[in-house]
Chain A
């Protein structure tokens, strides 16, 4: 069964550094999402992406965040200057055009020191 994959599985970085989280969507999916989950809390929506542009974003997704699909396959989330409070699990999710169902990747655990 096709799966969403994410790399790296874990990342430790220093505060102020840039990080790039990568996602490979299921091949025929057209809609892409990033969510984050701070330890012990609910999964929170960050951003949705369709047709090479952001379609919706939350208040969390400020100017420090950006997304792109650089090569037509990977979908990336960049955090420009990480803060301690960016430490969380980051999940990519994707869906096809004819269903509401979003399929989640295994997540990247980001730790900012």
Chain B
């Protein structure tokens, strides 16, 4: 089955700096890659997603890039704010289920 790896596991940045989280996947049939933000005690919330026919997508301070050949995709958060502090999960969709990465705990230091 699909295997999704995510790095780093923890990330601390100064407020205003950029944060980058990277994921790789193994199954070339995966065609949909969402990113979820999970705040303490809450369920994962979709923040951005990308489909395999697109290389990059941006939504205000958040962008995602996808390299199908290399089977990796990345989340970029610019101008980070303290409220961006959370755990971020990448996922790959193969068929009817999501395979999640191990998560990145992002801390934005004011």
A residues near B (Cβ < 8 Å) are 4, 6, 31, 33, 35, 41-45, 48, 55-56, 58, 91, 100-107
Contacts and interface: CB of A to CB of B under 8 A. Distances in A.
Interface residues of B, number: 23
22 contacts: A6-B43, A33-B97, A35-B98, A42-B101, A43-B44, A43-B98, A45-B99, A48-B96, A58-B97, A91-B43, A100-B34, A100-B49, A100-B93, A101-B34, A102-B46, A102-B98, A103-B46, A104-B36, A104-B44, A104-B46, A106-B41, A106-B43
A101 B46 contact: yes
Interface string B38-60: 00011111100101000000000
Contacts of B73: none
Contact of A56 (B96, B100, B103): B96
B40 to A, nearest CB: 11
B43 A105 contact: yes
A107 B40 CA distance: 11
A106 B43 CA distance: 4
A56 B103 CA distance: 24
A45 B43 contact: no
Contacts of A100: 32, 34, 49, 51, 93
Given A42-B102, A91-B43, A106-B43, 10 more contacts: A4-B43, A33-B97, A41-B102, A42-B101, A56-B95, A100-B32, A100-B93, A104-B46, A106-B42, A107-B42
